[in-house]
């Protein structure tokens, strides 16, 4: 069985203390770091998604959006959480970072909303079809949820397995739980 892992937006601005910190994010990402050291061999490919916003992005409050400024290109807040990178580097795993939210004029909660990243994921899948895509990250009720919903369309023969221990959600997990309950191709590993 081929298996991929998508880690959604494990960036400093979404960790507690960041400009859009989510409660429980640091703990979830620290546990994910341990998991990666112990389970990296089960994945054919690992992808990390990252918000990569211009300061003029439409989602920011000062630009008419609903969010505080976050994940500004080349800022510390946009950087991938270092313990995850350390874990991947320590076991010498290749991974790919895919960006989204680069265009200031529209929101891209899902990695599949970014045309370049979507094309890359589709091309990688055509080389090695995925039976299962494990997914985790921040925030479960926005970017993780939307990535799953779009992924179900882009990969119609693939299951999405939510690694809930490695997800932090603004709403405590309710939205993601509802998605899991409503779709037979979305499964959950506690």
Active site residues: 9, 51, 53, 59, 70, 100, 107, 139, 143
82: CB partners within 8 A, 6+ apart: none
Residues 98/146, Cβ–Cβ less than 8 Å? no
Which tokens go with 24?
């429980």
Q: Counting Cβ atoms within 10 Å, is residue 37 exposed (0-12), middle (13-18) or buried (19+)?
A: middle
At residue 11, φ and ψ (nearest 5 deg) are -115, 155
């Amino acid at each position: 069985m081929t298996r991929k892992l998508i880690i959604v937006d494990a960036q400093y601005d979404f960790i507690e203390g960041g400009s859009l910190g989510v409660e429980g994010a640091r703990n979830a990402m620290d546990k994910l770091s341990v998991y990666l050291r112990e389970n990296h061999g089960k994945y054919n490919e690992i992808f990390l998604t990252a918000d990569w916003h211009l300061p003029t992005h439409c989602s920011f409050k000062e630009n008419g959006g609903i969010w505080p400024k976050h994940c500004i290109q080349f800022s510390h807040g946009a950087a991938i959480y270092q313990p995850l990178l350390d874990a991947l580097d320590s076991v010498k795993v290749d991974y790919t970072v895919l960006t989204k939210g680069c265009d200031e004029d529209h929101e891209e909660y899902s990695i599949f909303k970014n045309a370049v990243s979507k094309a890359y994921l589709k091309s990688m899948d055509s080389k090695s079809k995925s039976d299962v895509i494990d997914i985790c990250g921040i925030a479960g009720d926005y970017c993780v949820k939307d990535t799953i919903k779009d992924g179900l369309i882009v990969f119609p023969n693939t299951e999405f397995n939510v690694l809930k221990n490695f997800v932090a959600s603004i709403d405590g997990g309710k939205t993601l739980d509802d998605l899991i309950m409503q779709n037979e191709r979305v499964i959950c590993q506690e």
